[in-house]
Structure 1
């Protein structure tokens, strides 16, 4: 066993384990002053308030196997006597960046040398992946972007503060969240597995739709579970295809990740990023940018917590106090005519119900 230390090393920390889970495991032994999750290695480092607290915790869990969310975790002293880290308020926000080298080999060398290394002693471990972008388009030299080959770029667009970036042609009402830093706390301090947070393509191509039953509003109801909708366009020459423009690249990535291969009206959806950066305004494009049904205009972090793949369970809220189970069942049976499945209504509270149905599409359900 390593020399006793205030710092405890925890292994087998799976993606389902949050910071709060670790805090609950070790708080009975004393105060915890620092906590670092090393997601890339499924490990964590905790610093107790003093060495005796750490000794008590390690000794206890040496004799009693600790389990978090059904997963065995393993506890030992760290080789670090102290964790040096950034301000706690900045911890776990998932800051990310895109860097373009002048050649592919330089990018490979940088990734090989730096992947898994820490920026600071014991924390801020680098997770480096190759981007699917061929080239970066940098328009401003400021604290958010910089083109080192062109020092003459402006610091910001005229008439727009660099602290409040806009969304292109989407207009007011949308926050640009392409770096996803502001909402990673909604996912427990880190993005869900498979989500990079670096995508900047806002438009999604949806294929294999059921053209007899789909329309723009039904697509809006489905895709608005993962972000704000700017425009939707059904393709005339391909009636089973549609374009959906999300509020930003991060929201589009969530939609692609969670809806790919989802079943809708008897067909498996094929959802991918479109080659088109945005949907051009026109008669075929339906505008949603000013719709008050876009639920991510406010309480965005709260709504991101609900992002998941479609299931057979729907959660309804803000129902009238006098609504009956029969009324709810009758309403949803209208949308389950093909399957004729029995619907079950469970009363959770006076205003919250859960209903298993064949798809999760909330046809006439207002956003929470």
Structure 2
């Protein structure tokens, strides 16, 4: 950095877009980073849309802004590196300890970007899945060899949202079997590439690679999912990371109606393939189900077509299950 970037500087840059509640800054191997908490989600979206790619100072300190999976920042001190604007009475440093960032870079708090591989590894039980580097910073992936007669943006959303939040999706009209998918961050993109490469959907073997485009620009043919309440990683991100896997024969259904029957579930899904077995059960007073198809392709089709569909008075949620038998 050629010029200092402090909490005050960041507050000056971001506060025109809404009330900034908290700021935490820290140094990582990838460079200087900050977490900024707004009072409202709308303000955070406005700030990102307006400031992404802009420079803090003329000709330097370009902003690269991603949304965090953290629901709340914990700020212990008000100083030049961290600030809780809702609690001005916080001390400037811990008594008897030199002033240093108490935070997020050292403690392994769940910072969602993959610069903090340790936090994400913790979600996977202490180590990243084999084949995952945790160092990718490219957020956009290119999916190709799609079935153009059967695929659409919402079906791609249902599949890719298993591995992270979706920002935008664009089907390429000049290449109807290609689509760009912009994930919430580089780690989520890496998970999607790793787990979906070679998966079969609608009779086609998918090819999934990182795109040369850093993001998808808004346009008439771009579908925006940034604010979709169907994004799975807005809550319980660590739990969702643990469930990431390649497509399996078994799908797990949740948010089912309380009065649902196993026959109704089978009827809702059987158009997508041969159902080998199914089981309806209750956990934490909520109805859930497991459905096993004859093969992974049938289960994948059921997931992309029926996730977020209505069953009774409920919008159901579908994920792959790593269980081998019911």
CA distance in 2, matches of 1:154, 1:239: 48
CA distance in 1, matches of 2:229, 2:193: 23
Normalising by structure 2, report the TM-score: 0.61
Q: Which residue pairs with 1:164 in the alignment? A: 35
Task: Tell me which protein shows more strand as a share of its residues.
Answer: 2
CA deviations over 1:73-93 (Å, ceiling 9, x no partner): xxxxxxxxxxxxxxxxxxxxx
Q: 1:359 aligns with which of 296, 299, 305?
A: 299
Residues 1:178 and 2:114 aligned together: yes
Q: Give the gaps of 5 or more residues in structure 1.
A: 1-140, 142-151
Provide the alpha-carbon RMSD of the alignment.
2.3
Call closer, same or farther: CA 1:153–1:271 in 2, change over 3 Å: farther
Please give the residue correspondences for 1:1-368 in structure 2 after superposition, counting only pairs within 5 Å. Answer: 141=1, 152-155=2-5, 158=10, 159-160=13-14, 161=23, 162=25, 163-164=34-35, 169=49, 174-175=68-69, 176-179=112-115, 180-336=117-273, 341-349=274-282, 351-357=287-293, 358-360=298-300, 361-366=303-308, 367=317
Q: Is the 8 A contact 1:318 1:351 kept in 2?
A: yes
Q: Is the 8 A contact 1:202 1:278 kept in 2?
A: yes
CA distance in 2, matches of 1:363, 1:300: 23
Call closer, same or farther: CA 1:193–1:242 in 2, change over 3 Å: same
Per-residue deviation, 1:334: 2.6
CA distance in 2, matches of 1:275, 1:154: 32
CA deviations over 1:47-91 (Å, ceiling 9, x no partner): xxxxxxxxxxxxxxxxxxxxxxxxxxxxxxxxxxxxxxxxxxxxx
Aligned length: 214
Call closer, same or farther: CA 1:362–1:237 in 2, change over 3 Å: closer
CA distance in 2, matches of 1:225, 1:342: 22
Per-residue deviation, 1:318: 1.9
Corresponding residue SS for 2:164: coil
CA distance in 2, matches of 1:321, 1:290: 28
Q: Is the 8 A contact 1:203 1:279 kept in 2?
A: yes
Q: Which residue pairs with 1:91 in the alignment? A: none
Per-residue deviation, 1:154: 4.2
Per-residue deviation, 1:311: 0.3
Call closer, same or farther: CA 1:190–1:172 in 2, change over 3 Å: closer
Q: Is the 8 A contact 2:266 2:275 kept in 1?
A: no
Call closer, same or farther: CA 1:275–1:173 in 2, change over 3 Å: closer
CA deviations over 1:347-367 (Å, ceiling 9, x no partner): 343612110131333423244
Call closer, same or farther: CA 1:238–1:362 in 2, change over 3 Å: closer
Larger Rg: 1
Per-residue deviation, 1:250: 0.3
CA distance in 1, matches of 2:130, 2:3: 36
Per-residue deviation, 1:192: 0.7
Normalising by structure 1, report the TM-score: 0.54
CA deviations over 1:254-309 (Å, ceiling 9, x no partner): 00000000011111100000000000011111000000000101110011010000
CA deviations over 1:115-161 (Å, ceiling 9, x no partner): xxxxxxxxxxxxxxxxxxxxxxxxxx4xxxxxxxxxx1443674254
CA distance in 1, matches of 2:307, 2:160: 13
Corresponding residue SS for 1:218: helix
Per-residue deviation, 1:211: 0.5
Per-residue deviation, 1:181: 3.5
CA distance in 1, matches of 2:275, 2:188: 34
